[in-house]
Structure 1
Amino acid sequence: MPPVSEKRLFSHRLRDTNSAFLPARQQEERPTRVGFVLLPHFSMMAFTAAVDALVTANLVQATPLFAFATYGLESTTVRSDLAIDISANATLEQLPLEGEAALDVVIVCGGFRCDLNERAPLSHKLKLAAKRQKVLGGLWNGAVALAHAGLLDRLACAIHPDNHTFARERFPHVQVSHQVMVVTERVLTSAGPSSALEMMLVLIERLHGKDTVRAIREILSSDRIADSNETRLTLAENDPSLPEPLRNLLHLMNSNIEEPLGIEELAAYVGLSRRRIERLFQGHLETTPSRYYLELRITHARRLLLQSDASIANIAVACGFVSSTHFSHCFKDFFGVSPSQARQLRKG
């Protein structure tokens, strides 16, 4: 039997899926603080896409990675482009750039009907943020506010196409890009809702790596529409980057959780040798077939355990474990707590 420390390590595909439920690391830094300045008539869709990335990042890790707050220009009530009034946390004057509560990232949220004239208090605050080496961002036409503050001179930026003509006329030293998203070391800009999400994922990857972003995508892109307009769930078996024989094997495993197939049975179904199957798993998933199958069943069990009231004994059977005791030992090896403790922690 391998040592416990080895058994608790998921392979990279399923580690992302289970990361929020794994034991927390001892060394934890404070969350990155992000402030959203909401301009009147800001795009609700772009704003929520950006926030969704941060919230989901917190969900896929055992400890929070981000904290965010919203700021109105002069009031804590800001009307969105949907004519829905949003309660901001504070006003622009209260946006913190120093001290323990200081923001690390400041993002201006624009929208289709936002006034593009300069607002002196906002320009002043953005200049202070730049002076203190904060990361700055703009959603939709939020980059216009950065340009008014002189923070985009000789830089490229993404702005909603409707505002390209204005931006080129008003800011001759700013390169208005045809790209939907432009990311530099200190400035992040995007032109709409989808690119707002991608922009935030770039920021998250910089701070916390590709594994965290992969886990976020698994949640937020689960119903992505393919080019063929066919909706495909983002399971590993649907990943076009994997060889078709491997995808067929993953489909077989996913379809046979309660009564797991042996390696020889899998080989017979797909017409490959055992050695060929082992090479496919090692080369593309960095694990063995049996190990991946166990992780898949444990992941399935974790979802049932935390999302249903089924008994632990029934969950063990549904996930192909020979007994509740065997299931409990395997679960604790991976997650550091017993199934009953995990359920109690979730309820708490």
Structure 2
Amino acid sequence: MEFNAALPRVESGIRQASPVRFGIVLLPNFTLTAFSGFVDLLRLAGDEGDLSRPVRCAWSILGESLIPVRASCGIQVTPWTTFEEAGRLDYVVVVGGLLHSGSSASRATLQFIRDSSETSATLVGMCTGAFALMQAEVMTGYRLCVSWFHYWDFIERFPQADERNLVADRLFVIDRRRITCSGGRASIDVAAAILLRHFDATIVRKALRILLVDDADKGNAPQPAPPGLRPSTHPKVKRAILLIEQHIGQPLSLGELAHRLEMSVRQLERLFNGEMDTTPLTYGRQLRLRTAAWLLTSSDRTVTEIASSCGFSDASHLGREFKKQYGEAPNAFRAHGVQPPTGVSA
């Protein structure tokens, strides 16, 4: 099943009898961009003539109480109503933000998410809102999208998660009644994908144009590449690089990498080599060595620990490969305090 395929669109001219109802839950230190991008597309698609009335769709900000919730930038938003008074909802949208800033989803919020999962509502995790869905234990058996920037945070917080269902190389993932998004600008893409389920495409495209967005990206569009990696303009290669980066500790085989990209091994090798002047396996080895070099000069972890976390069988294996690349053993490299070069080359 392709979970990121375009959602079914309504026939031209069909209009739903009642508004599509969205309940938006803002977590402490939520990301304002993810919230505003999502709700602004609802606003623009919800009415005609720039009147911003909730005609086609209606939205409300929900909370455990009516105490204002602070965004990561300091702006505060007051919930409109409490969880108990939310009423029937078609979508429950949980907007997250900073992970390392104290409180996260409260017990009442997690319970509301669990209760919503037992209704006909679709749950949407924006940015680190996906962490809250996971914490609420409503993602079992579903694929889940996180930003590449928070991939290892997710693995650390949820070691029980099935990594085969974790996606950090795409903008968003739609898996039945679960939608998760990497955050930022992609919140507009998610809103567009949802609205195309219910409205004529011309309505959604008009709203996007008002926001000066040419067209919404599909879920299988790649996330921006992490800094320090050699860039590529080809979306398949960008996704391959992200997948390699995310699986440094447990490198994917060439066959598995090609399978995840829906390509043959031969196609992947030819495309990757044409874009990067090297093979995916060589690129991955260089990236793992560069990461090991960085850990040697920026942490007090042992060589054995670094070897394990960077996908080498043991310290001896790391030592042999490291000396080929940097001309000295890991401990000597650490003693010199040499910083590894940026980028990855063949």
Q: Give the SS at the match of 1:55.
A: helix
Hey, what does 1:29 align to over in structure 2? 17
User: CA 1:140 to 1:222, structure 2 compared with 1: closer, same or farther past 3 Å?
Assistant: closer
User: CA 1:153 to 1:222, structure 2 compared with 1: closer, same or farther past 3 Å?
Assistant: closer
1:119 aligns with 2:109: no
Contact kept, 8 Å, 1:38 with 1:73, in 2: the verdict is no
Equivalent residue for 1:154, pick from 128, 136, 141? 141
**AA aligned opposite 1:177:** V
Higher helix share: 1
Hey, what does 1:90 align to over in structure 2? 81
Hey, what does 1:217 align to over in structure 2? 208
1:164-243 aligned within 5 A: 164-171=151-158, 172-174=160-162, 175-178=165-168, 179-221=170-212
Q: Give the SS at the match of 2:109.
A: helix
Specify every segment of 5 or more residues in structure 2 that has no aligned partner in the other structure, as ranges. 1-11, 216-346
1:135 aligns with 2:112: no
Aligned pairs, number: 196
Contact kept, 8 Å, 2:32 with 2:71, in 1: the verdict is yes
Mapped to 2, the partners of 1:154 and 1:202 lie a distance apart of 22
- How big is the alpha-carbon RMSD for the aligned residues of Structure 1 and Structure 2? 2.7
Q: Give the SS at the match of 1:155.
A: coil
1:236-275 aligned within 5 A: none
Mapped to 1, the partners of 2:189 and 2:47 lie a distance apart of 18
TM-score (norm 1): 0.51
Mapped to 1, the partners of 2:171 and 2:181 lie a distance apart of 6
Contact kept, 8 Å, 1:142 with 1:159, in 2: the verdict is no
User: CA 1:162 to 1:210, structure 2 compared with 1: closer, same or farther past 3 Å?
Assistant: same
Q: Give the SS at the match of 1:106.
A: strand
Contact kept, 8 Å, 1:116 with 1:144, in 2: the verdict is no
User: CA 1:115 to 1:68, structure 2 compared with 1: closer, same or farther past 3 Å?
Assistant: farther
* Deviation readout 1:152-194 (Å, 9 max, x if unpaired): 1222212233332132233333432111211122111111221
Whose radius of gyration is greater, 1 or 2?
1
Mapped to 1, the partners of 2:188 and 2:97 lie a distance apart of 15
Q: Percent identity?
A: 24
Mapped to 2, the partners of 1:120 and 1:77 lie a distance apart of 17
Mapped to 2, the partners of 1:118 and 1:79 lie a distance apart of 13
Hey, what does 1:110 align to over in structure 2? 96
